[in-house]
Chain A
């Protein structure tokens, strides 16, 4: 269970999260949608403790994360896996070593056990015999899948996905969506999926939250978001160039408001 209350985060004069409130139930997959720069990734990084919010509360499984020091957060991080936008694979290591990273760092397992667990995690994301490859030899979709396999080795209770289907072809995107659903069904993990891809959000999410001006302006089931008449939501989910979101900005395709 993740409970976020009155969260604020600013970078200089720019307020990114502005009194943000959000709840994610245990075992739920929540998709977060919204334009670039509305603070979706900042929220994920705040949850995993890579950024410190200016104020507000982040409660994860009953633990108030904002009160934790780095060591305390490390214990919490063992329950949270994050799939980064670009994969963030360690490029000096092979795929096998990337996936085995957490096992090698924290568990004193024999090498056969490590290899088995790596192969199992890679099989879960639909990859086989890629252990000797280097990250530079992988396609964008494969990188994301390896990144997910690396997270699965941790056996986390919560998985945070930062744009898992961006910059990959529609077929690979569909495979990743299928994977997120499967992991949710099989492992019962709580997931937050940050995405711009509405197809992905409708497919994978139990509920969708729309971010606008650093706040959640709608939070509901995919069908409710789909049928929303809110002009901001309608413009975003239908991908219209003209509408309240772009009117709100000072520059609309070269025309100054």
Chain B
């Protein structure tokens, strides 16, 4: 029993310590992002690496999720002759929840892993030490551009996923359930409010921060050689996934219960 309590205590301690380290890195990043000198091109380079490269995969996933949602709902709604409401549910669910979260998970897997691996290999080959030896702050040089790139690009990707996901629903509703083209869009626009889109996009800003900070933190704290880099990469993805889902739940709770949106 005592051993169990000790283990729980140690796990809690390491969780609090880890979250503390992430918070410190996050606050350093925010401060350094607002401190001159500004090198905007570095952030744009990162945004370019993140955005166009992730667009195809996030769009494909959103498109198929839109189709799947419409099909799964049709399974019940057709029995109630309520298939006309499917466009409403698909569009609201996608914009408020599914498109932002799925896009964030895809980007965490694709870009978060890449960030951890890239910075991790720089750490083990002393390139990060070299930056410090040249009086260059590694957080300013490595973390800030990736952070800004992700915070900038994730909402854009999520917005595109919103649109493409709804088109996925359109394919099923119009060609399988025989809802007319006009009726589909009428139902979508009657259901969607600006707050649905905004709440989804606000979430993606937080998800972008999580992916950047977790990936960079893992990369900067790599120990050992190639094995350490591999571990850091896996850990970055797993922890980003967990934190994204937890944060999503928290933000949804705040929007729903505190802000009534």
Interface residues of A (CB under 8 A from B): 45, 48-50, 70, 73-75, 77-78, 80-82, 84-86, 88-91, 101-102, 105-106, 154
Give the distance in Å from the alpha carbon of A81 to the alpha carbon of B134 in the complex.
Answer: 7
Q: Is the CB of B134 within 8 A of A90?
A: no
Give the distance in Å from the alpha carbon of A90 to the alpha carbon of B42 in the complex.
Answer: 15
> Considering residues B121, B127, B136, B137, which has the most beta carbons from chain A within 10 angstroms of its beta carbon?
B127
Among A49, A78, A84, the residue within 8 A (CB) of B130 is A84
Q: Does B125 contact A (CB under 8 A)?
A: yes
Q: Is the CB of B126 within 8 A of A84?
A: yes
Q: Is the CB of A90 within 8 A of B127?
A: yes
Interface residues of B (CB under 8 A from A): 121-122, 125-127, 129-130, 132-137
Which residues from chain A contact B137 at a C-beta distance below 8 Å?
A: 70, 74
Which residues from chain A contact B126 at a C-beta distance below 8 Å?
A: 84-86, 88
Which residues from chain B contact A82 at a C-beta distance below 8 Å?
A: 130, 133
Which residues from chain A contact B134 at a C-beta distance below 8 Å?
A: 77, 101-102, 105, 154
Further 6 A-B residue pairs, CB within 8 A, beyond A84-B130, A101-B134, A106-B135: A49-B132, A74-B135, A75-B135, A80-B133, A84-B133, A88-B125
Q: Is the CB of A90 within 8 A of B130?
A: yes
Q: Is the CB of B127 within 8 A of A78?
A: no
**Would you mind naming 5 contact pairs between A and B with Cβ atoms under 8 Å apart?**
A45-B129, A49-B132, A84-B126, A91-B122, A91-B125
Which residues from chain B contact A89 at a C-beta distance below 8 Å?
A: 127
Give the distance in Å from the alpha carbon of A64 to the alpha carbon of B138 in the complex.
Answer: 24
Distance from A140 Cβ to chain B, minimum over Cβ atoms (Å): 13
Distance from B125 Cβ to chain A, minimum over Cβ atoms (Å): 6
Q: Is the CB of B133 within 8 A of A50?
A: yes
Q: Is the CB of B129 within 8 A of A78?
A: no
**Beta-carbon nearest neighbor of A98 in chain B:** B130
Q: Is the CB of A77 within 8 A of B127?
A: no
Give the distance in Å from the alpha carbon of A74 to the alpha carbon of B130 in the complex.
Answer: 12
Give the distance in Å from the alpha carbon of A75 to the alpha carbon of B135 in the complex.
Answer: 7
Give the distance in Å from the alpha carbon of A73 to the alpha carbon of B137 in the complex.
Answer: 11
Q: Is the CB of B133 within 8 A of A86?
A: no
Q: Is the CB of A86 within 8 A of B125?
A: yes
Which residues from chain A contact B132 at a C-beta distance below 8 Å?
A: 48-50, 77
Distance from B80 Cβ to chain A, minimum over Cβ atoms (Å): 57
Q: Is the CB of A77 within 8 A of B125?
A: no
Q: Is the CB of B135 within 8 A of A88?
A: no
**Beta-carbon nearest neighbor of A90 in chain B:** B127
> Considering residues B121, B125, B129, B133, which has the most beta carbons from chain A within 10 angstroms of its beta carbon?
B133
Distance from A21 Cβ to chain B, minimum over Cβ atoms (Å): 24
> Considering residues B121, B125, B132, B135, which has the most beta carbons from chain A within 10 angstroms of its beta carbon?
B135
Q: Is the CB of A88 within 8 A of B136?
A: no
Q: Is the CB of B125 within 8 A of A78?
A: no
Q: Is the CB of A77 within 8 A of B130?
A: no
Distance from B250 Cβ to chain A, minimum over Cβ atoms (Å): 33
Q: Is the CB of B129 within 8 A of A50?
A: yes
**Beta-carbon nearest neighbor of A49 in chain B:** B132
Give the distance in Å from the alpha carbon of A155 to the alpha carbon of B147 in the complex.
Answer: 33
Give the distance in Å from the alpha carbon of A101 to the alpha carbon of B133 in the complex.
Answer: 12
Distance from A84 Cβ to chain B, minimum over Cβ atoms (Å): 5
Among A74, A75, A84, A102, the residue within 8 A (CB) of B129 is A84
Distance from B223 Cβ to chain A, minimum over Cβ atoms (Å): 12
Distance from A2 Cβ to chain B, minimum over Cβ atoms (Å): 15
Give the distance in Å from the alpha carbon of A45 to the alpha carbon of B133 in the complex.
Answer: 9
Give the distance in Å from the alpha carbon of A257 to the alpha carbon of B125 in the complex.
Answer: 36
Which residues from chain A contact B136 at a C-beta distance below 8 Å?
A: 105
Which residues from chain A contact B129 at a C-beta distance below 8 Å?
A: 45, 50, 84, 88
**Beta-carbon nearest neighbor of A73 in chain B:** B135
Which residues from chain A contact B122 at a C-beta distance below 8 Å?
A: 90-91
Give the distance in Å from the alpha carbon of A49 to the alpha carbon of B134 in the complex.
Answer: 11
Give the distance in Å from the alpha carbon of A85 to the alpha carbon of B130 in the complex.
Answer: 11
Give the distance in Å from the alpha carbon of A77 to the alpha carbon of B191 in the complex.
Answer: 60
**Beta-carbon nearest neighbor of A79 in chain B:** B135
Closest A-B pairs by Cβ, 3 of them: A74-B135, A88-B130, A88-B126
Give the distance in Å from the alpha carbon of A123 to the alpha carbon of B127 in the complex.
Answer: 23
Give the distance in Å from the alpha carbon of A154 to the alpha carbon of B137 in the complex.
Answer: 17
Give the distance in Å from the alpha carbon of A89 to the alpha carbon of B126 in the complex.
Answer: 9
Give the distance in Å from the alpha carbon of A81 to the alpha carbon of B130 in the complex.
Answer: 10
Distance from B44 Cβ to chain A, minimum over Cβ atoms (Å): 15
Give the distance in Å from the alpha carbon of A73 to the alpha carbon of B132 in the complex.
Answer: 10
Which residues from chain B contact A45 at a C-beta distance below 8 Å?
A: 129
Give the distance in Å from the alpha carbon of A60 to the alpha carbon of B34 in the complex.
Answer: 32
Which residues from chain B contact A73 at a C-beta distance below 8 Å?
A: 135
